[in-house]
Structure 1
């Protein structure tokens, strides 16, 4: 990978993106905290992910979570693809936050990217598992903190592998092209992290879809009910549809969804998947995500430079004085 000292986007595009991101975050926060009955942890998850993904995050929120009219949230989020979006957003809120915080700190200490990426991986996993999964979800799942950790460990690890498989090469390649992106004080750092999070969300979505489908992770929920792989909430959707058919009035459907939602909220949730998923299938999917992570590392090493570190001039790096390298 040839290393450049020029940005990978014009300045005006960068600041336009930041401006749109600010507006997107303000809207999502306003909508979540005033009208959409999403779970509290997911409200903050959506705000964080929109902060990282800008208007793309707003579009995802609009079509997968935003309540279209009062009393319809359970039915609106019932489809499995939306349930999987909720799981992915929850994953990104925890994992990407840990990765970004670690990247800012490792950049301050001047560590090489080859070391950075594994510290960031560990930080993302720890933040996602111990805080966003076990700590924030234990009460909703009806579990102790220790049991929530145990049940969340494998799904979080699988999801983290996929998230990092997308974020790792994106960060390294963009930072190789413009080393200003290695410094947390530079707007290019935040632009690189935004792009990396977007790629991580896309790469990890199919894995989260599988996890939610097999009830190894929770899906999109509401303040009244935790999304349970799509299945239970789809029953709520059916109740709402029946209410429309029998009564022909929207308030009937709203009452049905609210009643079913409250009933679901009182039931502890088990995310182990029970007998639905064999140990062999879990092992195969785990191996697939490790292969994905290995491919991400290969892409970073092949098209980026894992030896680079912030504050070191390019010409001082190994090989930079060799013919064929262009600044």
Structure 2
């Protein structure tokens, strides 16, 4: 591995990115508060993910979630690809937050990157499962906290494996090329985490698409249809395969939802629907996500340095003692 001390981004570019990120977060938060009737947990999710992904997060929000005109959110978020975006954002909000917080803390203990990444993995999985999945979604699923944990465990593990498969090599490679990115007091740390989250979102999207399609995870929602803690019982029996339904069958829905094309956004977040997916299919997809994680680890080890530690002098690393290189 050829490590060098040439920054992978100039300081001015980082500060420009941070300024655009601030504007993006403020806009997304304002829009969610004033006009887009997204579920409360997803409002937090969108704000967090936009904080990590900046203008890219704003663009994703604009095209997949922002209500284009009053009363149209149900129809707008109904397509399956947007439902999968919602699942991915929820995943990133929980998992990436745990990973970033752990990385910021462990940097003070001088652990090697090879140890650090697995602490971050555990923190991301725990934060995503215990808080963003089970705690925030238990009322919507109509379950106790323990039952919500049980039903969320496998889908969250699959999502986490895919998210880490993207974040792990991105973090390690960028930090290997500029060790300032290992310390939370450096702007390069936050830039590296932003890049890692972006890659993690892209890599985990196909897995979340499969999970939503098979009703193993929830997708995008709306407060008007789902309320703040669940949906009316009479909505449960609406056929999800029909593609069309009459608004009169569900008085809680506005007229715009009647021509949604898909009813996923108007149906309850029934994670138990995964019972229709065979154990073999679940096992195969789980193994695929573990393979993705293994590939991510291989890329990190091949193109990064898993032995590096925060605070190690740059000159002490391979390739750093060449004349003419300066910090």
- Please say whether Structure 1 and Structure 2 have the same fold, judged by a TM-score greater than 0.5: yes
Distance between the aligned counterparts of 2:274 and 2:167, measured in 1? 31
Equivalent-residue separation in structure 2 for 1:204 and 1:100 (angstroms): 17
Q: Does 1:38 align with 2:38?
A: yes
After superposition, the Cα gap between the structure-2 partners of 1:214 and 1:315, relative to the gap in structure 1 and judged at 3 Å, is same
C-alpha displacement of 1:256: 4.8
- Judge conservation of contact 1:78–1:233 (CA < 8 Å) in 2: no
CA RMSD of aligned residues (A): 2.8
Tell me how far apart the structure 2 counterparts of residues 157 and 64 of structure 1 sit (CA, whole Å): 25
Please state how far the C-alpha of 1:110 moved relative to its aligned partner: 1.1
Asked if 1 retains the 8 angstrom alpha-carbon contact of 2:257 and 2:266, the reply is: no
Q: Tell me how many residue pairs correspond in the alignment.
A: 309
1:264 & 1:83 partners in 2: Cα distance? 11
Matches within 5 A, 1:214-229: 214-223=214-223, 224-225=225-226
Q: Counterparts of 2:137 and 2:68 in 1: how far apart (Å)? A: 26
In the TM superposition, what whole-angstrom CA distance separates every residue of 1:173-200 from its partner, at most 9, and x where no partner exists?
A: 0000100000000000000000000000
2:81 touches 2:209 (CA, 8 Å); kept in 1? yes
TM-score, structure 2 normalization: 0.87
8 A contact 2:75–2:257 mirrored in 1? no
Quick one: distance in 2 between partners of 1:160 and 1:190?
A: 20
Query: Is contact 1:74–1:236 with CA below 8 Å preserved after alignment?
Result: no
- Residue-by-residue CA offset, 1:40-70 (whole Å, 9 max, x unaligned): 0000000000000000000000000000011
Mapped to 1, the partners of 2:127 and 2:244 lie a distance apart of 33
- Residue 321 and residue 205 in structure 1: after superposition, are their counterparts in 2 closer, same or farther (change >3 A)? closer
Cα-to-partner distance string for 1:96-119 (whole Å, 9 max, x where unaligned) = 000000000111111110011000
Query: Offset at 1:12?
Result: 1.7
Structure-2 residue corresponding to 1:168: 168
Deviation at 1:275, TM superposition (A): 4.1
Q: TM-score, normalised by structure 1?
A: 0.87
- State the match for 1:253 in structure 2: 255
Q: 1:61 to 1:173 in 2, by over 3 A?
A: same
Residues in 2 aligned to 1:52 and 1:167: alpha-carbon distance in whole angstroms: 12
Match of 1:119 in 2: 119
1:145 counterpart residue number: 145
| Structure 1 unaligned residues grouped into runs of 5+ | 241-250
Q: How do residues 146-225 of structure 1 correspond to structure 2 at under 5 angstroms? A: 146-223=146-223, 224-225=225-226
Give the match for residue 311 of structure 2: 311
Cross-structure match for 2:95: 95
1:10, CA displacement in angstroms?
1.7
* Residue 303 to residue 182, structure 1, CA distance change in 2 (3 Å): same
Could you say if the C-alpha distance between residues 201 and 111 of structure 1 is closer, same or farther in structure 2, counting changes exceeding 3 Å? same
CA positional deviation for 1:16:
1.0
Q: What residue in structure 2 maps to residue 302 of structure 1? A: 302
Indicate how the Cα distance of structure 1 residues 294 and 105 shifts in structure 2: closer, same or farther if over 3 A, else same: same
Separation of aligned partners in 2, 1:264 and 1:76? 11
Alignment of 1:78-89 (within 5 A): 78-89=78-89
Aligned partner of 2:250 in structure 1 is none
Q: Deviations over 1:192-250 (max 9, x none)?
A: 0000000000000000000000000000001132799xx9788686547xxxxxxxxxx
2:2 and 2:257 map into 1 onto residues whose CA distance is: 61
CA distance in 1, matches of 2:275, 2:257: 34
- Unaligned ranges ≥5, structure 2: 248-252
CA shift for structure 1 position 273: 2.9
Secondary structure at the aligned position of 1:4 is classed as: coil
Q: Hey, what's the Cα distance between the residues in 2 that align with 1:297 and 1:63?
A: 32
Deviation at 1:6, TM superposition (A): 2.1
CA contact (8 A) 1:74 1:237 kept: no
1:68 match: 68
How far apart, in 1, do the equivalents of 2:133 and 2:239 lie?
Answer: 20
Q: What CA distance in whole angstroms lies between the structure 1 residues aligned with 2:169 and 2:254?
A: 50
TM-fit CA distance, 1:253:
2.7
